[in-house]
């Protein structure tokens, strides 16, 4: 099983990060520990939304959707 996730920076709330992982808790920990150069300057992060998929193709399609214009609008409506 894989997750598509959207993290939001607590330090810079306009910064979001969308990705795919098999272990959501570990991925959040990696981002918050500075293990990703792309996101380390915006630490700490929180989970805004995630969705679990069994089908690898669907997980990639949903990640692509979240990174699109309508996906950004969808995520904004659901972030808090």
Domain that holds residue 64: 2-78
How much of the chain is helix, strand and coil, in % rounded to 5?
40, 30, 30
Query: Mean pLDDT over residues 10-33, rounded?
Result: 96
Number of domains in the chain: 1
Half-sphere exposure of 8 (CA within 13 A, CB side): 13
pLDDT tens column, 33-57: 999 999 999 999 999 999 999 999 9
pLDDT value of residue 79: 55
φ and ψ at 15, to 5 degrees? -90, 125
pLDDT of residue 15 exceeding 70, the answer is yes
CATH number at 22 reads 3.40.1440.10
7 Cα distance to chain centroid: 4
Distance CA 41, CA 54 (A): 32
Model confidence, pTM: 0.88
**Residue of 5, 7, 3 whose CA lies nearest to 16:** 7
pLDDT value of residue 75: 72
């Amino acid at each position: 099983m894989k997750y598509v996730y959207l993290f939001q920076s607590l330090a810079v709330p306009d910064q979001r990060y969308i990705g795919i992982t098999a272990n959501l808790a570990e991925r959040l920990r990696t981002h918050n520990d500075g293990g990703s150069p792309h996101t380390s300057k915006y630490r700490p992060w929180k989970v805004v939304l995630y969705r679990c998929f069994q089908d690898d193709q669907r997980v990639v399609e949903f990640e692509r959707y979240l990174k699109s214009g309508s996906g950004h609008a969808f995520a904004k409506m659901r972030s808090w």
